[in-house]
Structure 1
């Protein structure tokens, strides 16, 4: 079992840290919301009032934070991970950030005597709670092998996809597929309901055929019921679509469906839906069609 400093106990990080503590790892967590400590402590972990206190004896440091500015501050800042963790510690960044930021973190870590993996996850809050996340990992093969004892606790699928930054590229592709799928499911619901078909029954059929997906499996009932409690907020998906847009520009690629999905998610934020689950793209499609909210 490993000594783990876990930074970021939000919607995703909290259940992940608890899984690790229950599995027998020594987990010391730090977060900005003190209310999150109760769950970790109940599951056998400990809380720390600073990044330094969380990582000072850690063999493995885990970060699960909203975006690259927070990751860079926590890892590279004067009171951050590289200032206080033992030399040789392995940093696993589960956050979704820009590929170039992950590469820069790995380079800074190597210069300072630390190993780094970018390991963004997919599966949302449900996947984190159930410990069945999909994890796409960038870094060295040796560090990936070291980290498998962590990945096997919080994930169902974990694959080494390439060098530093590659995990973030795969996660960008993942968010493109997820965002586009939500938009299509939203349009399917609007189409069926407009023509007098029970959308719930219709989606049950779709989920069992070639159109089936994890999104239909997990979210079709809540979408039809217009329940958009956030498992992954539109605000965060908007950030991810920006990563996709930047990556496509760097690669000189035209991704028209990505551009449309980006616009729909941006519309959701403009309509004040940013704090809702990304399945609330249904509300965006309804508004485009002049339909009353349900």
Structure 2
């Protein structure tokens, strides 16, 4: 029942809280590591631990911001994998490149560690609600052992392969999501420029064939013009860049992904960088010469 956790960011923290609560019912702590000790203190039932204690756990879950952070923590002679025991499980939930994931898998296999690529799909709100989606690829035994723990914060778990399939699927889904925001930015700005009221645009969008769970989730904050970051422009630029790189590496032409990445790159160089990625709407409105819309009191 020894379980370790590394990374308590926007998604990692609520995920870890759900898991720590589950472990606490059986009288076990969650051993946690983060560069900010205050984040560990904010997870009831978590105990701060170094890499040696985390590495001694039977199952370790990581939630890190990018490839560089993951490689720094997990790889090398002093990294996490080198400290893990044979037949222990590393469930890696970050959104990273298939190449970095493959490097982790190679190191894990050399050590006898079972690596489960398990990138998480969802927002901070779905993480708080324990309603995330996981795409999992790796040894069946790894998923079988990790599933009860992953299910404490994920509503849906898809087993999609034995190697890096989960990484490709996560990037594909994020391509859809990131591109949707840029399409919405153009489309909604066109309607506003044509004189349609903001409330009317959103009401029609929500009842149209263009509606989706993503659109439905975003409608309320868009009505309030609330662009607080559930997932920021900077984060989406990172993910779209990973998708473009994956296309290049596999010989898949991705002109739309390149365009969307470049749009996020331009927005990332402005004050929109740390806002929600649907702040692409603000960029389009500014380009069209539009200010804030009139809204009902």
TM-score by length of 2: 0.91
**CA 257–68 in structure 1, closer or farther in 2 if over 3 Å, else same:** same
Quote the Cα distance in structure 2 between the aligned partners of 1:146 and 1:211.
39
- Give ranges in structure 1 of 5+ residues lacking alignment: none
Tell me if the contact between 1:267 and 1:284 (Cα under 8 Å) persists in the aligned partners.
no
Quote the Cα distance in structure 2 between the aligned partners of 1:252 and 1:78.
33
Tell me if the contact between 2:2 and 2:57 (Cα under 8 Å) persists in the aligned partners.
yes
What count of residue pairs does the alignment treat as equivalent? 289
- 1:266: Cα distance to partner? 0.9
Tell me if the contact between 1:119 and 1:167 (Cα under 8 Å) persists in the aligned partners.
yes
* Aligned residue in 2 for 1:52: 52
TM-score by length of 1: 0.92
Residue 35 (1) aligns with residue 38 (2): yes
- 1:199: Cα distance to partner? 2.5
- 1:211: Cα distance to partner? 1.5
* Aligned residue in 2 for 1:268: 267
Q: How does 1:1-294 map to 2 (within 5 A)?
A: 2-24=1-23, 26-40=29-43, 42=44, 44-48=45-49, 50-53=50-53, 55-292=54-291
Tell me if the contact between 1:5 and 1:28 (Cα under 8 Å) persists in the aligned partners.
yes
Moved over 3 A (4+): none
RMSD, matched Cα: 1.8
**CA 61–285 in structure 1, closer or farther in 2 if over 3 Å, else same:** same
Q: Deviations over 1:213-245 (max 9, x none)?
A: 222222122234332211112111111111111
Tell me if the contact between 2:90 and 2:114 (Cα under 8 Å) persists in the aligned partners.
yes
- 1:104: Cα distance to partner? 1.3
Tell me if the contact between 1:200 and 1:220 (Cα under 8 Å) persists in the aligned partners.
no
Quote the Cα distance in structure 2 between the aligned partners of 1:156 and 1:212.
22
Quote the Cα distance in structure 2 between the aligned partners of 1:158 and 1:90.
17
- 1:293: Cα distance to partner? 5.7
Quote the Cα distance in structure 1 between the aligned partners of 2:138 and 2:104.
11
